[in-house]
Amino acid sequence: MAGPAAGQQTAPNNAAGTLSLTDPRELYVKPPFSEQSQPWPGLASKMTPRPDHGETSYRGSGQLAGRKALITGGDSGIGRAAAIAFAREGADVAISYLPAEESDAQEVVGYIRAAGRKPISLPGDIRNEAYCSELVDRALHGLGGIDILVNNAGWQHSHDSILDISTEDFDWTFKTNVYAMFWITKAVVPHMPPGSAIINTASVNAYEPSINLLDYSSTKGAIMIFSKCLAKQLAPRGIRVNAVAPGPFWTPLQVSGGQTEDNIVKFGDDTPLGRPGQPAEIASVYVELASTRGSYLSGQVFGATGGRGGP
């Protein structure tokens, strides 16, 4: 299994153990990056530099021992970082992903298994309601239940103008980012016991929308409101709901149409920290929201933006 981004500094332990004092501006690679693009959906293994999902740095401390998690988009990016962290914290983990992402997904399966936990791989397209129902059924059967749901999979495509966004494009974005979240959550909730947690991935674009991401930003605003309202609905069942709003993170979403090649070269340089985030840097937020340590956290949105915008 390949390691984190080549040439970057080794990240300090971000879970159990002693944290080393490190300048966050210099912790990971910074732009300029090389021009690069991949066909959708993109693979982390083909990015330069390769993202760091915590493969070598994340150390668990038993915060999720015995838990059972379903993560959409768990093959790469933030979903992959969450999957690795959850497994090392003691959870069994099911991941959904597109069939074209199988090679990345199998790396994640290997990390989950190496942590001594049970992996379930669920390839398919979450734009399809029937598949969403099937993946929940398979995850429930394979894990023996679900008490953590992370709706993380997303679609993003750069368009300079509303005039460039087709109905098909608009539908693709909303089906992936909003409809799938609705379908999957609706299917999972009846099976979740009190103490369960739902975590949805929103974005800094819900608060400070990028000019080239009109449809994507709209879906992320919807996810933010969905999470706040659902938290009120599910509180009487003892289920907590929160969202995370990442800023610019170095993931395949960016190099497979989410940004122009020109934007990729300078990606993240407009944040106060001067670089994009690496998925490893946000995994602990998902762990905290999933664990009983976050027992009074519900209906909130937690930002990780490098100092720019956000909740």
Q: Say whether 175 sits in a helix, a strand or coil.
A: helix
Give CA separation, 298 vs 182, 190, 196, 228, 243, in Å: 18, 19, 11, 8, 9
Of the candidates 111, 131, 216, 286, the residue annotated as catalytic is 216
State the Rg of the chain over Cα. Answer: 18
Q: Say whether 122 sits in a helix, a strand or coil.
A: strand
Name the nearest CA neighbour of 285 among 90, 95, 81. Answer: 81
216 assigned to active site: yes
109 burial via Cβ count (<10 Å: 0-12, 13-18, 19+): buried
- Phi, psi (degrees; rounded to nearest 5) at 94: -105, 135
From CA 168, how far away is CA 157, in angstroms rounded? Answer: 12
Catalytic residues: 216
